[in-house]
Structure 1
Amino acid sequence: MGSCGTFSVSVKKRDIIAATLPVQDHWLPMSNLDLLLPPLDVGVFFCYNNFLLQLDESVSIIKKSLAEALVPFYPLAGEMVQNSLGEPELLCNNRGVDFIHAYADTELKNIDLYHPDESVERKLVPGKKQGVFTVQGI
């Protein structure tokens, strides 16, 4: 199949997954260290063998688990906003996490995980458009 860096990823479906329990809106200020460091783009990707479960069943399980995991980690379901001083703050509003279900035309063994900037970035871990966190299931 594909070799490192030459594979393609096709998006099947995009969803927003929120925590299963409601969260009261509140703001969390950034620490001094957060204000000094450049912003980070946080994202994860899950690879699964679609022979173990039906593909739709695997995605459904991941979505349900993510919604439950966001309950204690509710800030990840928020979004970055600016306060009146123009400084970034985390708005904990349960906006949800971008969840992308995709298909890669390669096997995991063909991906060079030692050089993720060249092989993984923007393919397996997409850039987030909103929110704090992005998840992609492949």
Structure 2
Amino acid sequence: SKHTHIGVLMASFVNQGHDLNIRVMSRRLVSASDSSIKEHVLGVSNIDLLHGAFPVSLVCIYPRPPAGGFHFHAVVAAFESGLPSLLNHYFVHAGRIVANPRTGLPEILCNNQGAELIVGVADVALADLDFS
């Protein structure tokens, strides 16, 4: 899918072109937990239109926990349980980019359709990645 390829390309770029295989473990839509937030539309600024980079990605990279520490599944569970509450404050990230029917310009429909949470693993040591 589009998102998986972006992740692989990004990881490959970060690792200076060496193959970095990212295995997607799960992907799902997560909605804000506050159902009292009303659907609304946000216009975008002229700067947003010039830049043209609407998709927002957040990539979190963590070293492997030490033996006896938190397990991978516990970290994922913490993300999954906290994300709905976080989206209450960043509701726009649970919406969709749509075209304004009158102007044709992009706008953000804040409709709580959900933010995509993709969990993946890579068989590479964090120290081996080049973030420069």
Q: How many residue pairs align between the two structures?
A: 111
SS of 1:71's partner is helix
Which residue number in structure 2 is paired with residue 80 of structure 1? 97
Aligned residue runs from structure 1 range 27-38, under 5 A: 27-38=41-52
1:102 is the counterpart of 2:116: no
Gaps of 5+ in 2: 1-14
TM-score by length of 1: 0.73
- Give distance in 2, aligned partners of 1:76 and 1:41: 10
Q: Give 4+ residue runs of structure 1 displaced > 4 Å after superposition.
A: none
1:71 is the counterpart of 2:88: yes
1:13 is the counterpart of 2:31: no
- Give distance in 2, aligned partners of 1:50 and 1:11: 19
Moved more, 85-94 or 49-58: 49-58
Report the AA paired with residue 89 of structure 1: E
Moved more, 51-60 or 97-106: 51-60
- Give distance in 1, aligned partners of 2:27 and 2:21: 17
**Would you say the 8 A contact 2:48–2:54 is kept in 1?**
no
Moved more, 18-27 or 30-39: 30-39
Superposed displacement of residue 67, structure 1:
1.4
Larger Rg: 2
Which residue number in structure 2 is paired with residue 56 of structure 1? 73
More helix by share: 2
SS of 2:88's partner is coil
Moved more, 70-79 or 27-36: 27-36
Identity in percent: 29
Superposed displacement of residue 27, structure 1:
0.4
Superposed displacement of residue 24, structure 1:
1.3
TM-score by length of 2: 0.76
